[in-house]
Amino acid sequence: MTLSAGIDVGTGAVKAAIFKVEDGREEWLARSTLRIRQRDPMQLAEEAFNETLEKASLRIDDLDYIATTGEGEAIPFHTGHFYSMTSHARGAIYLNENATAVLDCGALHGRAIVTDKRGKVLGYKMTSQCASGSGQFLENIARYLGIAQDEIGKLSVQADEPETVSSICAVLAETDVINMVSRGITAPNILKGIHLSMASRLARLLKSIGVTDNLVMVTGGLALDKGLIAALGEELAKMKGVEAEVTSHPDSIYAGAIGAALWGAFRYEILVASGQLLKAS
Amino acid sequence: MSQSDTAEIVARCHVLYEDLNFTAARKWKDAEPGRKVIGYMPVYVPREIIHAVGMLPLGILGGGDQLEVIHGDAYYQSYICRIPRSTIELGVSGRLDFVDGMLFPSICDVIRNLSGMWKMMFPGVYSKYFDVPQTYEDDVGGTFYENELTELLHDLEELAGRKVSEDDLRRSIEVYNRNRQVVRQLYALRAQKPWQVPAAEVYLVLRAGLVLPVEEHTDLVEQYLAAAESEDRPLRDNCRVILTGMFCEQPPLNLIKSLELSGCYVVDDDLMLVTRWLTDDVPTAGDPLHNLSQAFLHHSESTAAKYEPNPEEKGQYLVRAVRRTGAEGVIFASPSFCDPALLDRPMLQNVLKEAGIPFIAFKYAENSGQMQPIREQAGTFADSIKLWSAA
């Protein structure tokens, strides 16, 4: 039996997960998420990790491997670090074993990944623009519109005449949105326009790494935004030669932490088998 | 020794690393009247000869990422590597106004040109293009190199206003042998326990040796070795890599730190190659210049910075280094426009490919500020080694 933890330090939130792996069976024991909100991510990572340990009724010494991902490489008590693409690919496969592509939509980046059935990354690309394809941008827009973040998706799917957002720059797009508000465009139509603009860039990213008829699992903080998922489906449907299906999972936000924990367990077993026993520090 | 000793030593080295006014070397010079300082560019110069004349060899490794190049850009094309431009900037901004001579080893045409420029810009400063042999036969390269060493010694004697005896040279060779021994110990310790000896610390400790008197540096390395060995640092599940291609223009310190943060333990590298160019002790019995020449021909580091006449042997040093250090991969990191590193790279990569050793490659400049792409490349490389190397 291997006990492993995964800690994913993102730009907007810290996620932690603990797994028990025995004879190939993966059991998710506990999880925790803390929003960063201008707090120290390292301190939050420790808090989230301790909270997860408590939920799993474990002590740190019980763990065989503590894996970090995202910006978590500076966490002092980690055993090993995995890059975000590696972790999200594995996490996506855990959440849906049929997924062969992953779209990690976090607060700062969008990443498209093609993976095999084992979670091995076959190719990836990140958004080249800064914040315009990201959750931080959507959060800013929600604040301007005076709506809560969890309302974004619900409102977006109610749109009847989405307003096009022309710019790919978050700063200029925000100016667009201010103009729309002053012209009396409704919040659903503004939000849907933004979702379509983001989705169009993300769909191109997916196509550029060879996505054709893949099942695309959306992970990261935006995975639960129904509006974005719907817009992605629409944009992918418009692309020639692409028949990909988009899906997400209620636990998609944990994909990085899940992947890190599972890779940690996998790695621990390799180390044990090769006689290089490495206890979590 | 306690952890604070390591931190103290590294902090001192960091101050020396950041000091582009070379305060330590200036102080050494001012401590006694008549002292002289000889600057040298990477990669190889016989520091023993400078030491024997009673001068301080001072490594000049460009301006790094803290120096804004204004004048230097006027002297070279914009696509050329940055080290010659930032070195010119150091010169014209007066930061090297205490340096009595400059040696430009024959590493590439850019540095060769810099030696000529230095002569024109600073006519009052001794300046020499220091040539090294490309032929490793005793009666060809050996004779040539002995002549080159004799000429350098003669020039420096003239500059110092005194003659140097063979015993002076032998004593200096001994002093540098000792320095190379402790540096070899440092590299051996890092290859064995890379978690105890982070690459960024090794770099700073070695770099201090380019501005401090060699005796002081040997003590410093010994202190660091003792402190690092006694320190309790956690072992991470990182992959073990060899860094290669960084022998001339130096990467920013953040680049080295980023590689480690990305999950790579550096177990060998070609940074600060002047400190390890000669792989064995140079004999002190007999003719010292002949011994230095023989050491260069037959006991010097194989690297992209050195011509390899035997095609069968090309790149094998990397394969051997991988086997010796237990490395799992090689990272080719070279400055943009570095002819010696980048022209050799495809040949070296082919050798690694044939040996089944994974590698990645990227370029940098001494003032590279964006580490995200490098972290991404190194991080995914480390992941692929850790998860799929057996697949």
The last residue of one of the domains, among B131, B162, B193, is B162
| Interface contact flag, A79 B236, Cβ < 8 Å | yes
Q: Enumerate long-range contacts of B192-199, CB under 8 Å, 24 or more apart.
A: B194/B238, B194/B240, B194/B265, B194/B266, B194/B267, B195/B233, B195/B234, B195/B235, B195/B236, B195/B238, B195/B265, B196/B228, B196/B229, B196/B231, B196/B233, B197/B228, B198/B260, B199/B243, B199/B256, B199/B259, B199/B260, B199/B265, B199/B266, B199/B269
Asked if B311 has any chain A CB less than 8 Å from its own CB, the reply is no
Which is it for strands A215-219 and A121-126: parallel, antiparallel or unpaired? unpaired
Residue-level pLDDT at A280:
44
Q: Which amino acid is at A43?
A: Q
Can you tell me which residue has the tokens 């070379």?
B22
* Degrees to nearest 5, angle at CA B386 with B332 and B184: 50
Please, what is the angle between helix B3-18 and helix B214-230, to 10°? 140
| Interface contact flag, B237 A278, Cβ < 8 Å | yes
Mean pLDDT of chain B: 94
B341: pLDDT strictly greater than 90: yes
Find the residue in A nearest to B389 (Cα): A270
* Residue A203 placed within a domain: yes
Domain count for chain A, please give it. 2
Spatial distance between the Cα atoms of B30 and A233, rounded to a whole number of angstroms: 73
Nearest one of B256, B5, B282 to B171, comparing CA atoms: B282
Can you tell me which residue has the tokens 């592509």?
A101
In the Cβ-directed half-sphere of A107, how many Cα atoms lie within 13 Å?
A: 16
Spatial distance between the Cα atoms of B64 and B251, rounded to a whole number of angstroms: 8
More confident residue, A241 or B331: B331
Spatial distance between the Cα atoms of B209 and A73, rounded to a whole number of angstroms: 31
Q: State whether B243 and B356 are in the same domain.
A: yes
Q: State whether B150 and B52 are in the same domain.
A: yes
Spatial distance between the Cα atoms of A201 and B98, rounded to a whole number of angstroms: 57
Q: State whether A86 and A171 are in the same domain.
A: no
Which is it for strands B126-130 and B239-244: parallel, antiparallel or unpaired? unpaired
Spatial distance between the Cα atoms of A11 and A156, rounded to a whole number of angstroms: 24
More confident residue, B255 or B389: B255
Question: What's the whole-number mean pLDDT along residues B344-370?
Answer: 95
- How many C-beta atoms surround the C-beta of residue B302 within 10 A? 17
Asked if A6 has any chain B CB less than 8 Å from its own CB, the reply is no
> What is the span of the domain harbouring residue B360?
236-270+305-391
**Residues whose CB falls within 8 Å of the CB of residue B181, separated by 6 or more in sequence, listed in order:** B281
Q: Are B160 and B54 in contact (CB under 8 A)?
A: yes
Helix (H) or strand (E) holding B103: strand B101-105
B130: pLDDT strictly greater than 70: yes
Residue-level pLDDT at A167:
60
| Interface contact flag, A81 B236, Cβ < 8 Å | yes
Spatial distance between the Cα atoms of A267 and B219, rounded to a whole number of angstroms: 41
Select from A68, A82, A117, A266 the residue whose CB has the most chain B CBs within 10 Å, as the one to mutate to test that interface.
A82
Of B235, B261, B383, which has the smallest distance from its Cβ to A73's Cβ? Answer: B261
| Interface contact flag, B387 A266, Cβ < 8 Å | yes
Sequence-ordered alpha helix ranges (H) in chain A: 41-55, 84-95, 135-145, 152-156, 170-182, 187-208, 226-238, 255-273
Nearest one of A94, A105, A83 to A152, comparing CA atoms: A105
Residue-level pLDDT at B1:
44
Rounded to the nearest angstrom, the minimum Cα separation between A269 and chain B is 11
| B79: CATH | 3.40.50.11890
| Interface contact flag, A81 B390, Cβ < 8 Å | no
Residue-level pLDDT at A132:
57
The stretches in chain A having pLDDT less than 50 are 280-281
In the Cβ-directed half-sphere of B245, how many Cα atoms lie within 13 Å?
A: 27
Can you tell me which residue has the tokens 């003792």?
B226
Asked if B237 has any chain A CB less than 8 Å from its own CB, the reply is yes
Spatial distance between the Cα atoms of B389 and B391, rounded to a whole number of angstroms: 6
Chain B residues whose beta carbon lies within 8 Å of the beta carbon of residue A117: none
| Interface contact flag, B262 A267, Cβ < 8 Å | no
* Residue B196 placed within a domain: no
Spatial distance between the Cα atoms of B375 and A72, rounded to a whole number of angstroms: 13
Asked if B320 has any chain A CB less than 8 Å from its own CB, the reply is no
Asked if B63 has any chain A CB less than 8 Å from its own CB, the reply is no
Nearest one of B387, B258, B384, B261 to B333, comparing CA atoms: B258
Q: State whether A210 and A263 are in the same domain.
A: no
Q: State whether A125 and A36 are in the same domain.
A: no
Rounded to the nearest angstrom, the minimum Cα separation between B28 and chain A is 39
The last residue of one of the domains, among B162, B180, B204, is B162
| Interface contact flag, B263 A86, Cβ < 8 Å | no
Please, what is the angle between helix A84-95 and helix B372-388, to 10°? 50
Q: How confident is the model at residue B2 (pLDDT cuts 50, 70, 90)?
A: very low
Rounded to the nearest angstrom, the minimum Cα separation between A30 and chain B is 23
Q: State whether B151 and B46 are in the same domain.
A: yes
Asked if A76 has any chain B CB less than 8 Å from its own CB, the reply is yes
Nearest one of A224, A230, A259, A258 to A246, comparing CA atoms: A230
The rounded percent of chain B whose pLDDT value lies above 70 is 98
| B242: CATH | 3.40.50.11900
Q: State whether B119 and B240 are in the same domain.
A: no
Asked if B387 has any chain A CB less than 8 Å from its own CB, the reply is yes
Quote the tokens at residue A179.
């103009």
DSSP letters along B315-359, please? THHHHHHHHHHT--EEEEEEETT-HHHHHHHHHHHHHHHHHT--E
| A233: CATH | 3.30.420.40
Residue-level pLDDT at B271:
95
Asked if A275 has any chain B CB less than 8 Å from its own CB, the reply is no
> What is the span of the domain harbouring residue A266?
2-91+254-273
ipTM score of the complex? Answer: 0.85
User: Could you tell me which residues are beta bridge partners of residue A105?
Assistant: A110
Helix (H) or strand (E) holding B111: helix B109-121
Helix (H) or strand (E) holding B216: helix B214-230
Residue-level pLDDT at A248:
94
Residue-level pLDDT at B6:
93
